[in-house]
Amino acid sequence: MTGPASPGPWPAAPEPAAGAVRIRPLRASDGLEAELDLHHRAFGPVSAREREFWRAEVSACAQDERQYGAWRDGRLVGTARFYDMRQWWGGRALRAAGVGGVKVAPEERGRGIGRLLMTELLRVMAGRGYAVCVLYPATLPLYRALGWELAGGLYRARVPARSLRNLLPPDRALPGEPAARAPARGHRPGEAPPPGADGGQVPVRRAGPEDAEAVTAVLGAVYRGARDCGPCTFDPGRTRRWLADPEVFGYLAPDGFLAYGWHGGDREIMVHALQAASARTARALWGIVASHASVTEVVHVNADPRDALGWLTADGEVDLRRHRQWMLRVLDPEAAVAGRGFPAGTEVSVALDLADAGIPSNQGPRTLIVRGGEGRLRPGRSGTGAGPGAAEPVRLGPRGLAALFAGTPMAALRLAGLARGGDARCDAALDAAFACDPYLLDYF
């Protein structure tokens, strides 16, 4: 968990005049009813179950000064919060802030309160040392104006439950240890765990709130091994609250994790996450989902767009679509590059010129160096795009830098007006270094 915000690159805001908006952390003494009223008016009705989870979320964020409010003449007119996360890029974890719950009272909209809130959060998050920030936008112009840009998706697959009953066996034509066919089948609590692809037992057990650290460790190991880009893990407190939800059924294996629940009745299931580092564990976890096929018609899955499910089902009836888009903001370019994983065989040296009016310390000439799967940004200018006869440096603002970091090709950035300078060699080098297909499994 992080502590209170440090001053960062901005001075503290002066006290507002009467009628002006004041942004500050939400305190326990402020109570939660006004925030709940805003939540109801902004996002719709809140069930009793959702209300309890929401109270715990807001209270935890307020305790750590990650829940902010906007007040006008003593009335709460807007709120926003950020989560303490680790986001995986190229199989390495970056300190990331996840912004959620941004809302403004209907009667106060269109007066710049949302921008004031996000400007203050930007100051605080950068001051606390987060490398990147991710959010799901309700509106693009506000976030783009402050340096966020579209980066990746939350992908959802729709699969007929019957398709999971008998997954394809491993390819017997491949050399190595043979594996007997083991149809995917699940188990109920108290029964023996399901077999893996080799017929052996995979130790799968129910996971509860006491397993928060173990779940986080297993997910991190999966993301690291797959060199994933985009998925996140949360602080233990939020993971515990999620696993304590009676509507979420969690299962933990030594190298995998499954979380699912009923979806709008008993005919559909929502798989929130199914991540595994081995074929045996993937089949065992899918077997648990498949055990509902006698009563369930459809399974929805939050998935990596490259998820193996499409190659496991015999009929191929996996309808994968981008369900939501999310945006990225680079808060600390040096930390973001140093903490990110890069392709092991890629060597890059490109001169950059960064602009960032929102975080002035991020501006100026840099040189991107990538070698041996690691990267760094050095102050000054050298490499491709520097020196006599070289092209001018590649110029990027915060939106262009965020999109490049998330794997957007340089050709697309140039067509969108988010990149200038450099030449074909620079573009090829940057595309090779940052190529990825980022995704998230969690909505916040």
- Alpha-carbon distance 146 to 357, whole Å? 9
Residue in the block written with tokens 């149809």: 183
Could you give the C-alpha distances from 324 to 135, 298, 435, in angstroms and in order?
Answer: 11, 20, 21
pLDDT in tens, 301-326: 999 999 999 999 998 899 999 999 99
Q: Boundaries of CATH 3.40.630.30 in the chain?
A: 21-147, 155-323
Residue in the block written with tokens 């989870």: 53
Lowest-pLDDT choice from 65-74, 183-192, 313-322, 421-430:
183-192
Give the DSSP letter string of 253-319.
ETTEEEEEEE-SSSSEEEEEEEEESSHHHHHHHHHHHHTTTTT--EEEEEE-TT-THHHHBSS---E
Tell me the mean pLDDT in the region 420-432.
Answer: 97
pLDDT in tens, 245-280: 999 999 999 999 999 999 988 899 999 999 999 999
CB proximity list for 110: less than 8 A, separation 6 or greater: none
Contact assessment for residue 91 and residue 57, using Cβ atoms and an 8 Å cutoff: no
Q: How confident is the model at residue 438 (pLDDT cuts 50, 70, 90)?
A: very high
Q: Boundaries of CATH 3.30.1050.10 in the chain?
A: 332-434
pTM: 0.88
CB proximity list for 18: less than 8 A, separation 6 or greater: 73
pLDDT in tens, 47-56: 888 888 888 9
CB neighbour burial string for 407-440, b if at least 16 within 10 angstroms, e if fewer: bbebeebbeeebbebbeeebbebbbebbebebbb
Q: How confident is the model at residue 200 (pLDDT cuts 50, 70, 90)?
A: low
Strand 348-354 relative to strand 394-396, pairing: parallel
Q: Span 332-434: which CATH code?
A: 3.30.1050.10
Q: Span 21-147: which CATH code?
A: 3.40.630.30
pLDDT of residue 18: 54
Residue 389 has pLDDT above 70, yes or no: no
Tokens of 345: 């065989």
Cβ neighbours of 6 (radius 10 Å): 10
pLDDT in tens, 142-198: 999 999 999 999 999 999 999 999 899 988 888 875 444 443 444 443 344 444 444
Q: How confident is the model at residue 410 (pLDDT cuts 50, 70, 90)?
A: very high
Tell me the mean pLDDT in the region 104-112.
Answer: 95
Q: Domain 155-323 is of which CATH architecture? A: 3-Layer(aba) Sandwich (3.40)
pLDDT of residue 50: 85
